[in-house]
Amino acid sequence: MDLYFINLKEQTMKQNTFTKFGVTLFASLVLAACGSSGGGDDNNNTSTSTSTSTATQPEKPSTNTQPTSPTTSTQSTTGKALVIEAETAKVTPKPLDTTNLSEIEVDGVKLTISRPGIYSGGWSLLNIGSTDTQMCCGRYESVKIGYQSEVGKNGYVFYNGVPTAANEIPTTGTATYTGDSLYLSQLEIAEEDTYRGNANLVANFADKTLTGKLTNEIAEVNLDAKINQNSFTGSATSNIEKTTAEVEGKFYGKNAQEIGGMATSEDWIAVFAGKK
């Protein structure tokens, strides 16, 4: 499934805020082959701004058809990133396979998750020139989520960490995870490109189910997934969106102490993390 990220209007960078991609639209297109169809409290945020210059993104024309991307099993990866291509507006999923919690590399581009001498239990918000970086969170020992955009260059959304060993996943009982989420929407009511919010999830290890909510100032997302070893897959709906998102994620840390994942739809995206 190919996704596209299309600017619908130019945005300007306001003083002490972040560079915006603009109000966006995700379009999912499937090309037939061979005759068949294929969270959180911001009180502890660290924010740094070094520029107040105006930054804009040109509009991109939509594309009618694109071939589907191969599906990658979450069992053999540590997380996933979405690459939002600057020139084509195409959104491409990229599996991650690293347990480095300070830095990840996507298509040769290194994304810094944490910086020496800077600690934030909540979101770390960094604005340098036309680059908007939002990384979460220092309170998590084994999982990180984040977002980065830069005018004229690819953008990134990701979750990643140190997955729980399959033999450490509980087989009985339940666990409640509370934490953080980041929400991206193309709707006109979404005046910002991203909305930081909360995550509240319950894992039933006996029934192998994961349910819960992601909430922010404009939306409430209901999540329903099935657990398979240290991973989960399912679906999610938003009360302000028309489309249903596909959900994937993992348990992280020793004995599934933490959780992280992503919901991806034609119209909206969310990443989330939490801990027991």
**Residue 13 or residue 220, greater confidence:** 220
Tens of pLDDT, residue by residue over 124-149, are 888 888 888 999 999 999 999 999 98
Going by C-alpha positions, the residue among 24, 79, 90, 34 that lies closest to residue 57 is: 24
* Lowest model confidence (mean pLDDT) among 10-24, 75-89, 219-233: 10-24
Burial 198-226 (b: 16+ CB within 10 A, else e): bbbbebebeeebbebbbbbebbebebebe
**Residue 101 or residue 5, greater confidence:** 101
Tens of pLDDT, residue by residue over 134-191, are 999 999 999 999 999 888 889 999 999 999 999 999 999 999 999 999 999 878 777 7
Q: Does residue 123 have a pLDDT over 80?
A: yes
Going by C-alpha positions, the residue among 228, 176, 219, 173 that lies closest to residue 195 is: 219
Domain range holding 128? 3-275
Task: Report the number of secondary-structure helices (H) and strands (E) in the chain.
Answer: 0, 20
- What radius of gyration do the chain's Cα atoms show? 18
Peptide bond into 34 cis (omega under 30): no
How far is residue 273's CA from residue 101's CA, in Å, rounded to a whole number? 14
Mean pLDDT of the chain: 78
What φ, ψ does residue 204 adopt, rounded to 5°?
Answer: -105, 100
Residues 6+ apart with CB under 8 A from 10: 22, 56, 57, 59
**What local confidence, expressed as pLDDT, does residue 31 receive?**
32
Residues 6+ apart with CB under 8 A from 71: none
**Residue 29 or residue 170, greater confidence:** 170
Check which CATH number belongs to the domain holding 56 and give it.
Answer: 2.40.160.90
pTM: 0.75
Q: Pairing between strand 109-112 and 103-106?
A: antiparallel
What's the residue count for the chain? Answer: 276
pLDDT band at residue 75 using 50, 70 and 90 as cut-offs: low
**Residue 64 or residue 153, greater confidence:** 153
Q: How many domains does the chain have?
A: 1
Q: Does residue 48 have a pLDDT over 50?
A: no
